[in-house]
């Protein structure tokens, strides 16, 4: 495998499957199967999931809710998703740990970097919930921050789209896909890969980002094998 330790970033919306909101157990089981394939090959796996399928703080703020309150609600939504994924992974026979940036001792360990790294070294899949634990930061930023902290080789951003395009391929049929980009290319072209804070953190720490279609069977294993899947952003 090309990558020994990865940080897999999944959006909350990805867990909806074909539903309008919430969590699709079938989609969870599919993701667990994909993750099981790379775990069997010895890849150390850390995961961050968004919470947009349950609650999005920015959307709450736009409807008149206090932004900070909304962001904390969003963090709790990511914990619910983390618990759901943890259950699916354990159903597939995989060892897991859920760590959260907010203390919720009854259901998860508090995030401790050394403990997280030890879990990874022992072959446990570590799910990081509650974002960074701070309002005004996205789960993209949490993913890169945790990736840097646990010395991941790469950030794998699993989406519904098979990479980064010149425009939104769901809206513009003439959009062309990039196979590789530098961080500077992304900035010059004004491409939307992650939010600015997350992207800058990744660039400063020279942590590559691969954007790929998580819903295509076998894609995760192919990315970890080093095949050209999706779009790679590197120095």
Residue 137, annotated as binding a ligand: yes
Residue 134, annotated as binding a ligand: yes
Residue 132, annotated as binding a ligand: yes
Residue 182, annotated as binding a ligand: no
Residue 3, annotated as binding a ligand: no
SS (HEC) of the chain: CCCCEEEEEECHHHHHCCCCCCCCHHHHHHHHHHHHHHHHCCCEEEEEECCCCCCCHHHHHHCCCCHHHHHHHHHHHHHHHHHHHHHHHHHCCCCEEEEECCCCCCCCEECCHHHHHHHHHCCCEEEEECCCCCCCCCHHHHHHHHHHHCCCCEEEEEECCCCEECCCCCCCCCCCEECEEEHHHHHHHCCCCCCHHHHHHHHHCCCCEEEEECCCCCHHHHHHHCCCCCEEEEC
Residue 139, annotated as binding a ligand: yes
Residue 159, annotated as binding a ligand: yes
Residue 115, annotated as binding a ligand: no
Residue 140, annotated as binding a ligand: no
Residue 183, annotated as binding a ligand: no
Residue 226, annotated as binding a ligand: no
Residue 135, annotated as binding a ligand: yes
Residue 230, annotated as binding a ligand: no
Residue 22, annotated as binding a ligand: no
Residue 62, annotated as binding a ligand: no
Residue 168, annotated as binding a ligand: yes
Residue 71, annotated as binding a ligand: yes
For the annotated binding site for UMP, the residues are 51, 71, 132-139
For the annotated binding site for ATP, the residues are 9-12, 52, 56, 159, 165, 168
For the annotated binding site, the residues are 9-12, 51-52, 56, 71, 132-139, 159, 165, 168
């Amino acid at each position: 495998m090309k990558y020994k330790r990865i940080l897999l970033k999944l959006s909350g919306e990805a867990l909806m499957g074909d539903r309008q909101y919430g969590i699709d157990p079938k989609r969870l089981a599919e993701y667990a199967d994909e993750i099981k394939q790379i775990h069997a090959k010895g890849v150390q796996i850390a995961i961050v999931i968004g919470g947009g399928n349950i609650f999005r703080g920015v959307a709450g703020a736009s409807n008149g809710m206090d932004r900070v309150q909304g962001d904390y609600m969003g963090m709790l939504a990511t914990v619910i998703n983390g618990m759901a994924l943890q259950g699916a992974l354990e159903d597939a026979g995989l060892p897991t740990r859920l760590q959260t940036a907010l203390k919720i001792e009854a259901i998860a360990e508090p995030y401790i970097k050394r403990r997280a790294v030890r879990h990874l070294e022992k072959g446990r899949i570590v799910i990081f919930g509650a974002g960074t634990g701070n309002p005004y930061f996205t789960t993209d930023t949490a993913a890169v921050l945790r990736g840097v902290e646990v010395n991941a080789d790469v950030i794998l951003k699993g989406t519904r789209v098979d990479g980064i395009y010149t425009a939104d391929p769901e809206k513009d049929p003439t959009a062309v896909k990039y196979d590789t980009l530098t961080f500077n290319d992304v900035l010059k072209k004004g491409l939307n890969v992650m939010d600015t804070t997350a992207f800058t953190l990744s660039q400063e720490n020279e942590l590559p980002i691969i954007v790929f279609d998580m819903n295509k069977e076998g894609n995760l294993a192919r990315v970890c094998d080093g095949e050209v899947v999706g779009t790679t952003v590197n120095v």
